[in-house]
A and B are shown apart, each in its own frame.
Chain A
Amino acid sequence: MYSVPVAGLCPQGSYGIQDSLRSGFTSVKNELLPSHPLELSEKNFVLNQDKMNFSTLRNIQGLHAPLKLQMEYRAARQIQRLPFLQSSNLALDTLRGSDDTIGFEDILGDPAQSEMMGEPHMMVEYKLGLL
């Protein structure tokens, strides 16, 4: 399920060239190991929490409960705006119960305030399969 990045093949900088100033020289170690102890755990935090909650629910109430809930999650995840616009994910938040809590992910790195935006026409054409 996890793809192993190969050094030199997919540089993270813009224009496809390795951005030495921001990410350092290319090396396999750089791309395989996380540079910060929290990087991996933070990337998968919501997933891991959901997994834990679902497995507890399965143990308490049986298989039907997480199945039904996951179906609702899948439906809620599909309610999105156009590809280049940030959507509020209100239904997903309500299902998870995080609609009345504030955490660091609401204050820092808000995608609505990000400096980079995708090219709108390209993204919509890609989504509709016209590209």
Chain B
Amino acid sequence: PAAGFNFDNAARNAAFDGLFEGGQTPKPMKTGTTIAGVVFKDGVVLGADTRATSSEVVADKMCAKIHYISPNIYCCGAGTAADTEKTTDLLSSNLTVFSLNSGRNPRVVMAVNILQDMLYRYHGQIGANLILGGVDCTGNHLYTVGPYGSVNKVPYLAMGSGDLAALGILEDRFKHDLELEKAKELVRDAIHAGIMSDLGSGNNIDICVITKQGVDYIRPFQESEYKETRKPKYKYRPGTTPVLTKKVVPLKLEVVEETQQRMDTA
């Protein structure tokens, strides 16, 4: 059996598509997302919402869409959730091995090239729209990689189903060499616009600030005001329920048999 992807069931699955009216095959979990990135004076700010959907149902309310690639490179992923996770994991492993071999910090262009090769090989079947941002010895970079392997290098970016709304905010207020707080506000507002205008995005906003000094992964940066008050455990303090009456009945117990058992203290 060959290693790698196994196409044995492809014919069977294709036959299934026409069989059940309305397609009852389970849909993969997509991240139907808003992700955005901005290059500012000292580095890169990446932002993402936290909703993962599976057709019309919210599958995960606190999904982590900003993935770690290397200490100086982080990646936001939109598209099929499993594809973005696995691809970024593979990328991170490859870059770690490379940096151990050569003793150097990986550069963002290397990550972009590896991703481009990997995604082009599968001709878009791996549904991963990724925004890669990082700081390396050559400067602050922000790249986008599409599922078919297309690459774009830009100073500000939005991807996902809510990208049009987010891009509107970014196009309006982006300037080169922003300050840190302004950049964080800009990304927060862009993701917020995506959350408000798109059904596939929602819940909280995560922000990740990458600078030469280090990384600040703020999760969540802003919580949605529609948080629910359901707790995972129901534990009430004693005295919550008022006591109306109390009746004590002592049980009379007779001693029937008494035995002694020695404890083994060897």
- A-side residues, CB < 8 A to B, are 22-24, 30, 34-39, 41-43, 45, 100-111, 114, 116
Contact B15 A102 (CB under 8 A): no
CB of A27 to closest CB in B, whole Å: 10
Pick from A39, A41, A100: contact of B97, CB under 8 Å: A100
CB of A31 to closest CB in B, whole Å: 10
User: With A101-B97, A103-B118 in contact, do A114 and B7 touch (Cβ < 8 Å)?
Assistant: no
Select from chain B the residue with minimum beta-carbon distance to A21.
Answer: B12
List B contacts of A43 (CB < 8 A).
Answer: 2
Stretch of B120-128, B156-164, B192-200 at the chain-chain interface:
B120-128
Contact B5 A109 (CB under 8 A): yes
**Chain B 1-18 against A: per-residue CB contact (8 Å), 1 yes, 0 no?**
111111111111011000
- B101 close to chain A: CB less than 8 A: yes
Contact A42 B5 (CB under 8 A): yes
List A contacts of B7 (CB < 8 A).
Answer: 34-36, 38-39, 42
List A contacts of B154 (CB < 8 A).
Answer: none
- B218 close to chain A: CB less than 8 A: no
CB of B251 to closest CB in A, whole Å: 60
Distance of A36 Cα from B98 Cα, bound (Å) = 33
List B contacts of A100 (CB < 8 A).
Answer: 97-98, 101
- B-side residues, CB < 8 A to A, are 1-12, 14-15, 86, 90, 93-94, 97-98, 101, 118, 121-123, 125
CB of A93 to closest CB in B, whole Å: 12
Pick from A39, A45, A103: contact of B90, CB under 8 Å: A103
Pick from A23, A106, A110: contact of B12, CB under 8 Å: A23
List B contacts of A23 (CB < 8 A).
Answer: 8, 11-12
CB of A13 to closest CB in B, whole Å: 11
CB of A94 to closest CB in B, whole Å: 13
* Nearest 4 CB-CB pairings of A with B: A105-B4, A35-B11, A36-B10, A35-B10
Select from chain A the residue with minimum beta-carbon distance to B9.
Answer: A22
CB of B98 to closest CB in A, whole Å: 7
Distance of A42 Cα from B90 Cα, bound (Å) = 18
Which of B4, B10, B90, B122 has the most chain A CB atoms inside 10 A of its CB? B4
User: With A24-B15, A37-B125 in contact, do A108 and B97 touch (Cβ < 8 Å)?
Assistant: no
CB of A39 to closest CB in B, whole Å: 4
28 A-B pairs with CB atoms under 8 Å apart are A22-B8, A22-B9, A23-B8, A24-B11, A24-B12, A35-B11, A38-B5, A38-B7, A38-B122, A38-B125, A41-B121, A42-B5, A45-B121, A100-B101, A101-B94, A102-B94, A103-B4, A104-B5, A108-B3, A108-B6, A109-B4, A109-B5, A109-B6, A110-B3, A111-B2, A111-B3, A114-B1, A116-B1
